[in-house]
Amino acid sequence: KRSRKQEKRLPPGSPGIPLVGQSLSLLWAMRANSAERWLENRVKKYGPISKLSLFGKPTVFLYGQAANKLVFSGDGSFMTNQQTQSIRMILGDRCLLELTGQDHKRVRSALVSFLKPESLKMYVGKIDEEVRNHLEMQWEGKQQVKVLPLMKRLTFDIVCSLLFGVERGARRDQYLQHFQKMIAGMWSIPVNLPFTRFNNSLKASAKVQKMLKQLLHEKRLELQKGASSHQDLISCLLSIRGENDEELISDDEIIHNVMLIMVAGYDTSSVLITFIVRLLANNSTVYEAVLKEQDEIAKSKSSGQLLTWEDLAKMKYTWKMAMETLRMYPPIFGGFRKTIKDIEFGGYIIPKGWQIFWATAMTHMDNSIFNEPEKFDPARFENQAAIPPYCFVPFGGGYRICPGYELAKIETLITIHHLVTLFKWKLCCTEKFRRDPMPVPDKGLPIQLTPKQLLS
Ligand code: HEM
């Protein structure tokens, strides 16, 4: 039992309406794209730490640089990851988000062995081919396109070919169908009744798992026949062996993490590229600077020659522009952790077993950290060392920092290279966006395209 003295030291705030707490109010604010304001109002009312109730759990909301440090700098000994029940049921209990301690370390280091720059640099040409093919099929010859759905298709195709070795064709199309159904119910209320979004999503998850099991079987046979363990992520994970040549990553761990990567790599990078397209349409000076950098690279290559790792290293301004986009429109705005011990923070106690709601990206728009935060200005990243630690955190930080950072960077740079060198574009309408929970433009960002050949 908590003593009265401890009770007194709980953060300020009220638990809200019984059972529902503040959940509906926050979800509503997310749909209306006013979640940031909703949270800012909380900070104004209660300060950087306050208690509330979200999704049926006592929760502490944290804000600011020190809070970001608390969330990202631990080793997992006082705070653990916490996912919603729907995500756990759809992605499976052996995915990285659910694992802790040694299990998390083992599986994460297996994924990183494939996702680290030294490994990914071998696949730059393959990703470039996927992007060129996509633009040829879906963009060339069109006067108008909708950017978000196309970018989702592109990032899905890249993940499928690179990570699972599943190339264009009927199988990939079938994967996409099941996968889209699965993802549609990921953020829904986990009530498993027929015809609910959640129920459809669970059924699709079972189909995706069945297909991946079959794929695993095929990859195992290919490896036995001498195929390279570097051909894709699944082969790489199957080839990780212990001292007695036993497989170190179980089949369930491979399947659940492959599904996680499909989800994590699909929604996030596609949102980033979509917002870049939006910002470049409205900022001609930045567009021209990106174009200058990319034109120089394009001129140094012969027609049809694929981009290389060295070319990407030259895209310095383009990546600063992408970071500025991530600052203003972070695909992941926050998340949840759970305390496994009482934690003292900011003069208050956060009791063991409580949920922590981190909205770390709020520091991105703090005018005491970023001057004129509403202004789109890639030059702020000229001197990255000047940005205080834990204040720019679109990929998180610490031992759970996004392992897909490098892949996201490669996909983004290659896609932007081709977009600016092939097209000029205009937005078809001024469009609002909402968080679902990623930021999504209401109409999917329709743009009007003019191919560069017609301009010259
Ligand atoms: C612009 C693109 C992306 C952004 C902004 C982003 C951001 C993030 C953030 C904020 C986290 C949470 C860290 C935490 O819980 O502390 C995360 C985790 C994760 N991301 Fe990404 N991500 C992106 C792309 C990707 C891609 C392309 C992949 C897959 C290849 C990926 C795979 C993952 C995985 C597996 C985790 C869980 C890591 C763990 O719990 O140890 N992400 N990402």
Average pLDDT for 407-425: 97
Determine the pLDDT at residue 321: 98
Q: Which of 46-60, 90-104, 145-159 has the highest mean pLDDT?
A: 145-159
Atom of ligand 1 nearest to the CA of 108: 41
| CA 265–ligand 1 middle distance (angstroms) | 8
Does residue 201 have a pLDDT over 80?
Answer: yes
Does residue 454 have a pLDDT over 60?
Answer: no
Q: Which of 81-85, 172-176, 415-419 has the highest mean pLDDT?
A: 415-419
Nearest CA to ligand 1 atom 17: 402
DSSP tag of 44: H
User: Which residue bears the tokens 């699965």?
Assistant: 182
Q: Are strands 57-62 and 355-358 parallel, antiparallel or unpaired?
A: parallel
Q: Among 162, 402, 405, 409, which is best to mutate for testing ligand 1, by the most ligand atoms less than 8 A from CB?
A: 402
Nearest CA to ligand 1 atom 15: 400
Provide the pLDDT confidence category of residue 8 given band limits of 50, 70 and 90. Answer: low
**Which residue did the predictor score with more confidence, 367 or 8?**
367
Atom of ligand 1 nearest to the CA of 401: 13
The answer, yes or no, to whether any atom of ligand 1 lies below 6 A from the CB of 205, is no
Q: Among 268, 271, 407, which is best to mutate for testing ligand 1, by the most ligand atoms less than 8 A from CB?
A: 268
Sequence-separated (6 or more) residues with CB below 8 Å from residue 351: 2, 6, 10, 58, 339, 342
Atom of ligand 1 nearest to the CA of 111: 35
Give all strands (DSSP E) within 295-442, no chain letters: 335-339, 343-345, 348-350, 355-358, 423-427, 433-435, 439-441
Per-residue pLDDT tens digits for 273-318: 999 999 999 999 999 999 999 999 999 999 889 999 999 999 999 9
Main-chain dihedrals φ then ψ at residue 391, nearest 5 degrees = -105, -25
| CA 264–ligand 1 middle distance (angstroms) | 6
Determine the pLDDT at residue 167: 83
The answer, yes or no, to whether any atom of ligand 1 lies below 6 A from the CB of 26, is no
**Which residue did the predictor score with more confidence, 407 or 6?**
407
Average pLDDT for 124-137: 96
CA geometry: angle 223, 224, 226, nearest 5 deg? 65
The answer, yes or no, to whether any atom of ligand 1 lies below 6 A from the CB of 396, is yes
Determine the pLDDT at residue 1: 55
The answer, yes or no, to whether any atom of ligand 1 lies below 6 A from the CB of 437, is no
Determine the pLDDT at residue 456: 44
Does residue 160 have a pLDDT over 60?
Answer: yes
Determine the pLDDT at residue 184: 85
Determine the pLDDT at residue 211: 93
Nearest CA to ligand 1 atom 35: 261
- Compute, in degrees rounded to 10, the torsion defined by CA atoms 353, 357, 358, 363: -140
Provide the pLDDT confidence category of residue 2 given band limits of 50, 70 and 90. Answer: low
| CA 111–ligand 1 middle distance (angstroms) | 12
Provide the pLDDT confidence category of residue 109 given band limits of 50, 70 and 90. Answer: very high
Per-residue pLDDT tens digits for 339-361: 999 999 999 999 999 999 999 88
Per-residue pLDDT tens digits for 249-274: 999 999 999 999 999 988 899 999 99
Q: Can you tell me the distance from the alpha carbon of 274 to that of 257, in angstroms, rounded to the nearest whole number?
A: 26
Percent of the chain with pLDDT over 90: 72
Cα end-to-end span (Å), the chain: 76
Average pLDDT for 87-101: 90
Model-wide pTM > 0.90: yes
- Residue 295's Cα: distance from chain center in Å? 29
Determine the pLDDT at residue 3: 63
User: Which residue bears the tokens 């950087």?
Assistant: 48
Q: Can you tell me the distance from the alpha carbon of 91 to that of 102, in angstroms, rounded to the nearest whole number?
A: 20
Determine the pLDDT at residue 33: 81
| CA 261–ligand 1 middle distance (angstroms) | 8
Residue 345 to residues 190, 352, 360, Cα–Cα distance (Å)? 32, 13, 16
Determine the pLDDT at residue 6: 60
| CA 84–ligand 1 middle distance (angstroms) | 16
Question: Collapsing DSSP states into helix, strand and coil, what is residue 79?
Answer: strand
Q: Can you tell me the distance from the alpha carbon of 366 to that of 364, in angstroms, rounded to the nearest whole number?
A: 6
The answer, yes or no, to whether any atom of ligand 1 lies below 6 A from the CB of 265, is yes
Q: Can you tell me the distance from the alpha carbon of 421 to that of 122, in angstroms, rounded to the nearest whole number?
A: 24
Nearest CA to ligand 1 atom 7: 395
- Residues of the chain by 3-state class (helix, strand, coil), percent to 5: 55, 10, 35
**Complex ipTM over 0.95:** yes
Per-residue pLDDT tens digits for 11-70: 999 878 777 778 888 888 887 888 888 999 999 999 999 999 987 889 999 999 999 999
Sequence-separated (6 or more) residues with CB below 8 Å from residue 279: 286, 321, 325, 328, 376
| CA 402–ligand 1 middle distance (angstroms) | 4
Question: Roughly what angle, to the nearest 10 degrees, separates helices 251-282 and 101-115?
Answer: 60
Determine the pLDDT at residue 59: 94
Atom of ligand 1 nearest to the CA of 155: 27
The answer, yes or no, to whether any atom of ligand 1 lies below 6 A from the CB of 108, is yes
| CA 59–ligand 1 middle distance (angstroms) | 23
Main-chain dihedrals φ then ψ at residue 343, nearest 5 degrees = -120, 135
